[in-house]
Structure 1
């Protein structure tokens, strides 16, 4: 290995690890290796992941994943004390190895002494990960065999209760179960309700801190009679809680849901905090909104349309600016106004006309347009798709096929091994069935009624939540300083997924309406294609973004026609 390289220490510890693989032991092995005279390397950082299963992909680990995806240019070598500290899955190791080769990185496993710069080293590393994977499967089967009876009667195993639950002794203290903590549950219910209403977790955290609501950790300390630490709520705390598999009560082992004989997750509490469907919906609601390339990311609380509105002249996103105001001759101070301006022109781009309009005027127009257009429509939402499970399904099927091949080859003929094989086969088969079912549901999302009108939901939202509402439904707004009437601004709004769902359900309010475009002070033929069909008329050219919307709509109609 070339001397003087930059090393990233990869540290991992599962919940059941002992002292032989402790973080301190791993750190010591790595530092001793990096500082050896023949290397004289520089340790530039540590990716320390505790309570993380060896079955988790390195790219999904909380700390290591961020280094691989966001900070790859800061290191040359990934170093781990042992191979299984990187991963216990052969497919994940191959994925990491391919990434390293494609990005000019080296991988070092100190204890095994692998030199992955040679074909022989790569082959030995791949063989080692196969054995590590088989060892992990055997450990899991052994552990699950031991706790199976306790899981079947929903007994709590060990440790502190998950957020929102308390441990209750039953059957004269011979067994413990999880039940909802009724003292803390009102805050859980409030979080769920406000997320469903479209409120951001940042706002919920701020509100809880202002009200002095105890976090779960401080709540447990108070129950024990201990002094609270005054830990503050943060959006990350709320997001992590919502994403936790304990919300629907799923029991997980080393980061993976334990499945029953039918392939369904084992639900430990008699009554969980939320059903599976409710949990999926909540997780889907807190997902970051995917933004198109070039979308303005600034979202100041005073700017309803930041990241949503665009300059009608060039299509660039707008930025929000508060001018300084002025002082009258009599000394009275006149406050400034907030304006939306074209980011392209502001940054010296090619937009000649640009956009510079009063923000309150444009905000008011959008507010009224939403009320007048879909305000009386029944509100629908798409059932949460959730993340794709295709890759995990492929990996699980490969593991199942590999297990069956080993069984046929007689590798489980030893005493007591057949029981382990049957347990692993049962678990993997159930997992394949569950993942295949989830992928099928994800590929065919359904629409569901909320029981409310769009106008009712819009009315109770403040400006911050209205902006998130517009983002969620992919609403787009274009604006010009001047329109047909040169003395007034011009605007066009596309209602995005609200209109798409209405089309899917056959709820269009006007016959022949391909896309609901609301406009003000623009040529009528811009938003009504039928007006362009009269021969001999000299019409102003239609903006490119409207043509793109029409083309996308026609393509979608053709696709659905072919499917039918």
Structure 2
């Protein structure tokens, strides 16, 4: 009989029989029974939970008709080398029946051609699946315990970190890598400042820096993944039901596995920049420098930007012209001339006065910590519903502690945000010369200033007489210097 020898070394197993030993056992069995081994197929670092047809080496021998016709039986060291899943094992039985093949375990000695052999085969398959689940359960428990004590559980090291010997005990811990952590900090800083992710990626690629995947080409999406994940904060996220969930400790707070590479504030700024970049761009509109500042001296309606479309120059035209009950007859005012009038009037009033700047002083409160406590209380309350009496009591103590801290933060040491007026060391004239009309407009609007303008209709004999009044209320003449 022609046989296909199969060996597998699982990444899930704690103790595995080497590929060489499996091959030797199959060759000895074939020689003792007078069979010919067509090929020995090894699958290394392949889990027993993967379907046989999806495995790198064994798969083609099951799906390729030419290869499948070259042997009569698949022979393995043990059944769990073929599969640890009951349904996958049943699939293999069906496949063997449909293709006239048989399956052999050289150490468990069953014959699939008899009903008793098939029953024995099914029993072993159930045991193999149970062993797989037990191995995974032990692995999960081990991972959770390592995370709680701050040790590295193995696997891919997050970019920006490196695994080092635990100075306080067994195993390994993570610490910021001197080289790659500076790259992470640079990426977060540039993104937070609004630099496009594609530009950051192109620059890193040009400098020859290797990506977290060990490649040489950075991309915008890879930058986004790094910025939006919490690995750079030293925290752990895990997929649950297809969603990334932040792992928390027994107190309901984020589980910290390493020192953060970036600050929480920088992480928030970078993520806000990512969200802003995802928002649809608004069409830029040309805003007149004196919009909402200038009014018609004839009917008190606001003036707005008006252009005939044949010149880059524009006018201010009274909005009353389009209102039926008004139908203002005032003449459109050339923008360039009106800007000069407003500038001269404003600087004549306050040009030599010292300018003070209104500065925002952020409040000192504990909003971030209070939010963190609320999330911890919520998570602990959910955990408490499924806990036993003793565990529920322990959780309640933690909840009470969080609630006490929350109440204290809500009433103590909170200072509201405020504005202060500070000397800038320059006059209003100096400030005016170095600013744009957009900046000036904002200041004038905040001051409550308005301008009344009227241009007598010009003709070929008269250029038209200007009437421009700067409406600066008495109550604002002094406060203007403090804006």
Do the two structures share a fold, i.e. TM-score over 0.5?
no
TM-score (norm 1): 0.32
TM-score (norm 2): 0.36
Larger gyration radius, structure 1 or structure 2: 2
